[in-house]
């Protein structure tokens, strides 16, 4: 029995800048490319029939030089093994007038689905791939609108870079797909991109999956780091296996500073998580004493135990410890504290009093230079 094996990836975001990673940003940009090269190597090792890239291979249409050269080289290695590639432009590398896909010359095994060519038939596989390239005119539209299947093909595989419609949620920068459209599409498999974690949205007779991004792209992103291997044995007989490929992972912890007032106390909580491949976000919250000796920059000094360590200080001083007498009236912070205390005293109800009290705590923290409290 001949099995059609498809490697499905998306949201690689090559060329992305990572300012929040500071000095590690350049290193992580290289990691995205290395991981993508690893993914292409897996396509060869597993002898796949086809590679699908469901949007956002590039983070922008302005990617040049070595990144493009390495992508072309990687596709060339697939060409040597007779492995075709289908690329769908996504939200970041949209098929606009300045699209990177209009100017880069890929090897002949690569097909970019565009507004002019929305499908590609592979006769030797008995399979047609369909996809609506994203451009800036398609926000809010369905990626399956107008889909017309090539009846001569045995298998029908779609690609869509979109969000799934959710009640009460409005997506302002993507195409939108309703679950009912998946069920009614008659596709055998729908390769989804845009959401960066592995998710199953299969409906009716159609298998539909987000493969996730090969590496975390946003620094608060859990569930990233995978691709999908799709094995088509026959009509209605499809196996979908996620494969972890990411080198980095994200985690976050929240520490209530009410009972911890020293750097050593914070260290005892953070250090057990030490991992050179971990991006860790630490949030300090709760009410702290005025003599609390916690400096976010000092805590971030533990970053050599992690790939990246970021500390957000959202803690507040205890209200009763913010006494006007401790701050000269001629200073900005002194004037602010007195105005806020007066507002609290003059409040007509508990709701207003609580609002002014919160404003005092936040404003006091900001005037002390802790901008993280409003991030």
223-233 tens-digit pLDDT: 899 999 999 99
Cβ atoms 302, 265 nearer than 8 A:
no
The percent of residues above 70 in pLDDT, for the chain, comes to: 89
Are 253 and 125 members of one domain?
no
Q: How far is CA 97 from CA 100, 102, 103, 114, 148, in A?
A: 9, 8, 10, 12, 26
Are 131 and 269 members of one domain?
no
Are 43 and 131 members of one domain?
yes
Residue 116 pLDDT greater than 60, yes or no: yes
Cβ atoms 42, 34 nearer than 8 A:
no
Terminal alpha carbon distance of the chain: 56
**Which of the four pLDDT bands, split at 50, 70 and 90, describes residue 274?**
very high
Residue 174 pLDDT greater than 90, yes or no: no
The percent of residues above 90 in pLDDT, for the chain, comes to: 62
Are 226 and 363 members of one domain?
no
Are 308 and 343 members of one domain?
no
348-366 pLDDT, tens digit per residue, is 887 877 687 777 667 766 7
Question: Between the CA atoms of 220, 217, 181 and 3, what dihedral angle is there, to the nearest 10 degrees?
Answer: -120
- Neighbouring residues of 353: CB distance < 8 A, sequence distance ≥ 6: 344, 347
Q: How many CB atoms lie within 10 A of CB 27?
A: 12
Domain harbouring 29, CATH code: 3.60.21.10
Are 103 and 150 members of one domain?
yes
Cβ atoms 127, 4 nearer than 8 A:
yes
Residue 13 pLDDT greater than 60, yes or no: yes
293-344 pLDDT, tens digit per residue, is 677 888 898 999 999 999 888 776 665 556 666 677 778 777 877 887 788 7
Structural domain ending residue among the three candidates 292, 317, 342: 317
Indicate the average pLDDT of the chain: 88
| Arithmetic mean of pLDDT, 6-33 | 94
Are 305 and 323 members of one domain?
no
Residue 141 pLDDT greater than 50, yes or no: yes
Q: How far is the C-alpha of 289 from the C-alpha of 37, rounded, in Å?
A: 51
Are 209 and 277 members of one domain?
no
Residue 375 pLDDT greater than 50, yes or no: no
Are 156 and 264 members of one domain?
no
**Count of structural domains, the chain:** 3
Cβ atoms 24, 230 nearer than 8 A:
no
Structural domain ending residue among the three candidates 244, 272, 290: 244
Q: Which domain holds residue 357?
A: 318-375
State the Rg of the chain over Cα.
26
Are 361 and 294 members of one domain?
no
Q: What is the pLDDT of residue 61?
A: 95
Structural domain ending residue among the three candidates 186, 211, 244: 244
Cβ atoms 198, 244 nearer than 8 A:
no
Biggest alpha carbon distance in the chain? 85
Are 219 and 260 members of one domain?
no
Residue 374 pLDDT greater than 50, yes or no: no
Cβ atoms 238, 230 nearer than 8 A:
yes
Are 313 and 331 members of one domain?
no
| Arithmetic mean of pLDDT, 104-129 | 96
Cβ atoms 93, 100 nearer than 8 A:
yes
For the chain, the helix, strand and coil percentages under 3-state DSSP, each to the nearest 5: 30, 25, 40
**Which of the four pLDDT bands, split at 50, 70 and 90, describes residue 220?**
confident
Predicted structure pTM score? 0.83
Residue 101 pLDDT greater than 70, yes or no: yes
Bridge partners of residue 156, in order along the sequence: 128
Residue 90 pLDDT greater than 90, yes or no: yes
Cβ atoms 313, 300 nearer than 8 A:
no
């Amino acid at each position: 029995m001949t099995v059609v094996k498809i490697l499905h990836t998306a949201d690689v975001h090559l060329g992305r800048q990572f300012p929040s990673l500071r000095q590690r940003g350049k290193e992580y940009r290289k990691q995205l490319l290395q991981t993508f090269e690893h993914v292409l190597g897996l396509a060869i090792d597993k002898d796949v029939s086809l590679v699908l890239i469901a949007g956002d291979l590039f983070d922008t249409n302005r990617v040049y030089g070595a990144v493009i050269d390495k992508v072309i080289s990687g596709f060339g290695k697939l060409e040597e093994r007779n492995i075709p590639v289908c690329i769908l432009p996504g939200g970041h590398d949209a098929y606009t007038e300045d699209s990177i896909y209009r100017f880069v010359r890929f090897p002949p095994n690569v097909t970019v689905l565009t507004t002019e060519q929305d499908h590609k038939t592979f006769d030797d596989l008995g399979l047609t791939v369909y996809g609506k390239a994203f451009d800036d005119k398609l926000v809010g539209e369905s990626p399956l609108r107008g889909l017309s299947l090539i009846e001569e093909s045995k298998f029908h595989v779609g690609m869509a870079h979109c969000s799934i419609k959710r009640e009460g949620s409005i997506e302002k920068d993507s195409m939108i797909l309703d679950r009912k459209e998946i069920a009614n599409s008659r596709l055998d498999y729908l390769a989804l991109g845009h959401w960066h974690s592995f998710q199953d949205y299969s409906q009716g007779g159609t298998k539909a999956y987000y493969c996730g991004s090969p590496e975390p792209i946003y620094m608060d992103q859990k569930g990233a780091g995978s691709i999908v291997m799709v094995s088509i044995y026959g009509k209605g007989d499809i196996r979908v296996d996620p494969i972890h490929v990411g080198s980095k992972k994200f985690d976050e912890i929240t520490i209530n500073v009410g009972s911890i007032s020293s750097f050593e106390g914070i260290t005892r909580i953070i250090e057990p998580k030490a991992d050179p491949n971990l991006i860790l976000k630490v949030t300090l919250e709760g009410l702290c004493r005025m003599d609390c000796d916690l400096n976010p920059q000092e805590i971030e000094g533990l970053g050599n135990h992690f790939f990246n360590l970021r500390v957000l200080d959202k803690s507040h001083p205890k209200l009763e410890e913010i006494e006007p007498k401790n701050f000269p009236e001629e200073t900005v912070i002194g004037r602010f504290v007195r105005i806020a205390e007066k507002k609290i005293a003059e409040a007509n109800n508990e709701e207003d009093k609580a609002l002014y009290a919160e404003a005092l705590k936040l404003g006091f923290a900001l005037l002390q230079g802790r901008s993280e409290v409003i991030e």
